[in-house]
Amino acid sequence: MNAIGFDAGRWRITSAAISMLVIGVASPAHDAAMTANTSDRALPQWKIARMTADSSNQSNAELEAAVAASRGELQQLKREQVPMEWARAQFNLGEALERLGERETGAARLEEAVAAYRAALSELTRDRVPLDFAAAQQELGVALWRLGEREAGAARLHEALAAFRAALSPTLSDMTQERAPLEWAAAQDGLGNVLRTLSERETGTSRLEEALDAFGAALSEMTRERAPLAWARIEADLGSALRTLGERENGTARLQEAVTAFRAALGELTRERLPDDWAKVQNGLGNALMELGDRTSSSALMALGDRQNDPALVARGDREGGTARLKEAIEAFRAALTEQTRERAPLEWAATQGNLGRALWMLGMRERGNDHLEEAVLAFHTALAEGTRERVPAQWVKTQIGLGIALMTLGRRASSTARLEEAVEAFRAALTEQTRELAASTERTRELAAFTERTRERARLEWAATQNNLGCALQRLGVQENSRARLEEAAAAFNAAGTKGPRRERMIYGCGW
């Protein structure tokens, strides 16, 4: 099962950001590329680097001032008279809007940024200024990716993918490994992030394999010696892709690699140096440890076979297997929350609270007491305070499902109809959004055919899983209340899911009785 929420608030490494991340001197080819033809470029490299270096520490008020300045400049510039200056102002406007959009919960700023970048690209053509064309395509890709992360569908992510491919295309762009190796590496990292995010909306592993290739390409140029911070951020992106791939494959090798990548990233992204980035990597590490702990515990129990009723053996298996990893995951999530506060980063805070809830539920499932299960319910409720359906519908659905599972587990253990009723409510809430998104994906499939069929298939499977969870909760209620009506509702839910009863392979959702 995918982690609750997402690795929220990911950083960005673009051609514009290279100068503040690189320590030392780049390759001769890179130096030559950056000094060649600067008089003919609409976006001189010094200008892009200065803007991004400043904006990383700019306040919202400063960014608002930059937006106002760019808009004022655009009122003075006539596209017909000075097209390159006009395009530069559009690009600058897009940069400031994008930074603001990354910090806000709504999509309006990011939508405006996309429009500004597309306006800039109407003049920054490949024939006129090939490197600027590539830089603007890359920035457009980042803005579209940010929008795609916040939407349940995949249309924006496909647009982002096209933008990054355009930036990297040898027939469309001059951003090649030979001419601009660090900018090329940054674009490869962006491509990998889009592919990884897109994989979360689809089944299969092909997108993730492509993402690993992209991150590997990026790391071939963005080394720790050349650019330690950029290297660390790509290592963290690689860790996220490895974790997602590990969730879909058997065994634990990919998850172990993910843990290694996240811990490598923490060697440079320290709390003292970059507290926000440190928190994001802690969240990613927690997700990898959580999946590894779940996988290891399940494997340890299966290895015991008929001896699963031996408490001593089970306890030893937990110690040697997944329980320790789950406790490490909980520690990582709580560490992240020391920096990802509700006031500073509400959506990241909500996503990490959801991840913490799932890890606590997993740990609670392995214990006789209910303390960790109660903590899981609290974490899920806390996450919903900011991770609302209006702001982040996909994350909201996953949090509702996690809440329902935790409540159903408590209801089963305590024979509590109240907890089971709450679980039913949570699952039905999730289904309202999943049903809406399934209908929307059907409409998109009619328009785009196979382009979104994988997205629809993923939505269908998740909808069926939630129907199955609902059936489990209703069945337990029916047994405890001796209610024929509840049992009939359960049967209807199982039939909707395409099953005739709880499916053992969905035990991760709490249907293991």
Q: Which pLDDT tens digit goes with each residue over 369-420?
A: 999 999 999 999 999 999 999 988 889 999 999 999 999 999 999 888 999 9
- pLDDT (0 to 100) of residue 172: 79
How many domains does the chain fold into? Answer: 2
Residue 354 belongs to a domain = no
Q: Could you give the dihedral angle defined by the CA atoms of residues 428, 432, 437 and 442, in that order, rounded to the nearest 10 degrees?
A: 90
Both tokens of 43, joined, read 């976006």
pLDDT of residue 201: 84
Quote the pLDDT of residue 455.
63
Residue 244 lies in a domain: yes
The conformation of residue 39, written as its DSSP 8-state character, comes to G
Q: pTM of this prediction?
A: 0.77
Predicted confidence band of residue 297 (pLDDT cuts 50, 70, 90): low
Mean pLDDT of 470-496: 93
- What is the pLDDT, as a whole number, of residue 27? 42
Q: What is the CATH number of the domain that holds 170?
A: 1.25.40.10
pLDDT the model gives residue 462? 87
Domain assignment present for 283: no
| The last residue of a domain, from among 249, 284, 304 | 249
What is the overall mean pLDDT for the chain? 83
174: in domain:
yes
- Same domain flag for 13 and 161: yes
Per-residue pLDDT at 295:
87
State the pLDDT at residue 452: 52
Least confident of 305-309, 364-368, 439-443: 305-309
- pLDDT of 89 over the 60 cut: yes
pLDDT digit string, tens, across residues 3-15: 443 343 445 555 4
> Does residue 436 form part of some domain?
yes
Last residue of a domain, one of 219, 249, 279: 249
Asked if the structure places residue 196 within a domain, the reply is yes
Between the two ends of the chain, the Cα-to-Cα distance in Å is 19
Residue 54 pLDDT class (50, 70, 90 cuts): very low
Percent of the chain with pLDDT over 90: 65
The pLDDT value given to residue 296: 81
Which pLDDT belongs to residue 150? 83
Specify the pLDDT at position 2: 43
Residue 453: per-residue pLDDT: 58
Residue linked to tokens 């937006």: 67
pLDDT over 90 (residue 299): no
Residue tagged 């306040």 (tokens)? 59
3-state secondary structure of 172: coil
Residue 237: the pLDDT is 96
Q: What is the pLDDT of residues 222-273, one digit of tens each?
A: 999 999 999 999 999 999 999 999 999 999 999 999 999 999 999 999 999 9
Quick one: pLDDT at residue 301?
Answer: 47
In terms of residue numbers, what domain contains 106? 8-249
Domain end point (choices 200, 216, 249): 249
pLDDT at res. 435? 87
Give the per-residue pLDDT at 315: 52
Q: Tell me whether residue 69 is in a domain.
A: yes
Task: Check residue 511 and give its pLDDT.
Answer: 55
Distances (CA, A) of 271 to 22, 202, 275, 298, 475: 20, 34, 4, 34, 48
Residue with more model confidence, 102 or 55 = 102
Beta strand extents in 328-439 (DSSP E only): none
Gap between the Cα atoms of 49 and 43, Å rounded: 10
At residue 41, the pLDDT reads 54
- Asked whether 168 and 180 are in contact (CB, 8 A), the reply is no
Which residues, including other chains, have CB under 8 Å from residue 352's CB and lie 6 or more apart? 5, 8, 283, 286, 333, 336, 337, 340
Q: Do 243 and 392 reside in the same domain of the chain? A: no
User: Does the residue 372 lie in any domain?
Assistant: no
